[in-house]
Amino acid sequence: MAQEALLAVDGVSVFYDRFRALADIDVAVGGGEIVSIIGANGAGKSTLLKAILGQAGRVEGRIWLAGEDIVGRTTAAIVALGVMLVPEGRRLFPSLTVEENLWLGWDVGRRGEFGFAELWQLFPQLAERKRQKAGSLSGGQQQMVALGRALLANPRLLLCDEISLGLAPIVIDELYALIPRIKERGVGIVVVEQDISRSLAIADRFYCLLEGRVVLAGRPGEVGRETVVQRYFGL
Ligand SMILES: Nc1ncnc2c1ncn2[C@@H]1O[C@H](COP(=O)(O)OP(=O)(O)OP(=O)(O)O)[C@@H](O)[C@H]1O
Ligand SMILES: [Mg+2]
C-alpha cells in the first residue's frame, strides 16, 4: 500500500527545532480500516497525528491523502480534504452547550451523509443532553461530544488521540464500541492509545512506535503479545 491508500505517510521525519521526534516513518491507512498506533510516553504518537494535520514541527518526507501530498498545506486545507482529529484532552468549550460544541465540527467540515440525525442516533446520551453545558457532562459524555464534533465534519480519515484517557473501563468500552460503527461508514480510523490490549483488540493493523521509529507493525492476530510488549518497551 502506498499512494493508492487513503493515507500514506511515506518516509516522514518530524523535527521540533533540532530534536527529531519522528524518524523516517512509514504508515498506511485504507478507507474503512482501523489502524492503531501504540507506544509509550513520548514515542511520537501525537506528533504523527499532528504532522498529518499540518500542526507538528518541520516535516520531511511525504504524506499522501488520497493521492495528494499534503505536507506544507495549512490545517484548514487538510481538514477541507477530509481529515479530522479528536484531540488529546478533548478541547471542548465547557461553557457552551453540547449542541453548540457540535456545531463547530459541522462548520469547519465537509457536507456529507453524516449529519445531526445520524449523530443523535449514534450518541443517544448526547441527544438527551444537547442543551446542557458541555462542562456539566461526565468525562465519557464529553469524549462523545469530541468524537461527534469530528464526525459532523464528515471525515474520510479520523484521527483519535488517547480517547480513553482518564475514563473508567466501562465508559471506555462504550466509546470503543462506537469505533467499528464509524468504520462501517468507510472512514479510515487511526487510534492512538497507550493501552496495548485495547488497541490490538480493535485494530485491523497496528504500528508500534519507540523513540520516533516504527519498531513493529502488523495484524494483531499475526504477532504474539509477548513480541508486542517487548518492542513497546524496547527490550
Ligand atoms: N512542541 C514540541 N516541542 C518540542 N518537543 C516536542 C513538542 N511536542 C512533542 N515534543 C517531543 O517529541 C517527542 C514525542 O512527543 P509526542 O507528544 O508525539 O509523544 P506521544 O507518543 O504522543 O506521548 P504521550 O503518550 O505522552 O502522549 C517527545 O520527546 C516530546 O517531548
Ligand atoms: Mg500523545
- Which residue range(s) make up the domain with 196? 7-90+155-233
Ligand 1 atom with least separation from CA of 43: 21
What are residue 189's phi and psi, to 5 degrees?
-125, 130
Question: pLDDT per residue over 69-118, tens digit each?
Answer: 999 999 999 999 999 999 888 888 899 999 999 998 787 878 888 999 99
Does residue 167 lie within any of the structural domains? yes
Does residue 75 lie within any of the structural domains? yes
The letter for the amino acid at 76 is: A
Categorize the per-residue pLDDT at 206 as very low, low, confident or very high, splitting at 50, 70 and 90.
very high
* Percent of the chain clearing pLDDT 90 (strictly above): 81
Question: pLDDT per residue over 209-220, tens digit each?
Answer: 999 999 999 999
Q: Which residues lie across from 12 on neighbouring strands? A: 25
Instruction: Please answer whether residues 163 and 7 qualify as being in contact, where contact means their C-beta atoms are separated by less than 8 angstroms.
Output: no
Residue 124 DSSP SS3:
helix
Does residue 76 lie within any of the structural domains? yes
Does residue 103 lie within any of the structural domains? no
Containing H/E element for 225?
helix 225-233
For residue 72, the number of C-alpha atoms closer than 13 Å in the C-beta half-sphere is: 5
Q: Give the chain's domain count.
A: 1
Residue 62 DSSP SS3:
strand
Q: With left for phi above 0 and alpha for psi between -120 and 50, is residue 180 left, alpha or beta?
A: alpha
Q: Which residues lie across from 83 on neighbouring strands? A: 157
d(CA 81, CA 71): 13
**C-beta of 44 in contact with ligand 1 (< 6 A):** yes
pLDDT at residue 235 in the model: 86
CATH number of the domain that residue 22 is part of: 3.40.50.300
Does residue 65 lie within any of the structural domains? yes
Question: pLDDT per residue over 29-75, tens digit each?
Answer: 999 999 999 999 999 999 999 999 999 989 999 999 999 999 999 99
Stretch 203-209: mean pLDDT:
97
Q: Sign of torsion, CA 153 35 142 130?
A: positive
Residue 158 confidence (pLDDT) above 80 = yes
pLDDT at residue 166 in the model: 86
**C-beta of 50 in contact with ligand 1 (< 6 A):** no
Does residue 25 lie within any of the structural domains? yes
Q: Which of 45, 164, 213 should be mutated for ligand 1, with most atoms under 8 A from CB?
A: 45
Contacts of 169-174 spanning 24+ positions with Cβ under 8 A: 171/138, 171/139, 171/140, 171/143, 172/140, 172/198, 174/140
The letter for the amino acid at 221 is: G
Categorize the per-residue pLDDT at 1 as very low, low, confident or very high, splitting at 50, 70 and 90.
very low
Nearest CA to ligand 1 atom 6: 16
Q: How many CB atoms lie within 10 A of CB 69?
A: 14
pLDDT at residue 195 in the model: 85
Does residue 61 lie within any of the structural domains? yes
Does residue 121 lie within any of the structural domains? no
Nearest CA to ligand 1 atom 9: 47
Categorize the per-residue pLDDT at 2 as very low, low, confident or very high, splitting at 50, 70 and 90.
very low
Question: pLDDT per residue over 114-148, tens digit each?
Answer: 999 999 999 999 999 999 999 999 999 999 999 99
d(CA 169, CA 172): 5
Categorize the per-residue pLDDT at 4 as very low, low, confident or very high, splitting at 50, 70 and 90.
low
pTM here?
Answer: 0.94
